[in-house]
Amino acid sequence: VQLQASGGGLVQPGGSLRLSCVVPGFTLDYPAIGWFRQVPGREREGVACISNEDGTTDYVDAVKGRFTISKDNAKNTVYLQMNSLKPEDTAIYYCATDQARLCGPMTLYYGMQYRGKGTQVTVSS
């Protein structure tokens, strides 16, 4: 499956960005979509996920209250609205999906089967 993330860029602390991920066929084939981030040399971190069936969401503690994941079934697209960005949010963000994993803390921790190319988010003044 080809996942394509977009929307990254350079933003000042406190600013906002919205990332998008197109997942062809996700309404039929995949139970959940997740956003992950990675800084070179560091472990991947699960950021947020959303259930395809009922829209249930989950977030890592570091982004709760600042990031919002949502989906548009008609467009096969999942979004990550990122507000109140901090320098520590700087990373490559990518979307991922799985044929079996549901949205939840274990999925954010262990990752998902398919991932796409990432988009760079840099938070700096």
Which two three-digit tokens encode residue 41?
């040399």
The DSSP H or E segment spanning 106 is helix 105-110
Q: What is the pLDDT of residues 13-62, one digit of tens each?
A: 999 999 999 988 776 778 999 999 999 999 999 999 999 888 999 999 99
* pLDDT of 89 strictly over 90: yes
Asked whether residue 92 carries a pLDDT value surpassing 90, the answer given is yes
What pairs with residue 36 in β-bridges? 46, 94
Burial class (CB in 10 A: 0-12, 13-18, 19+), 37: buried
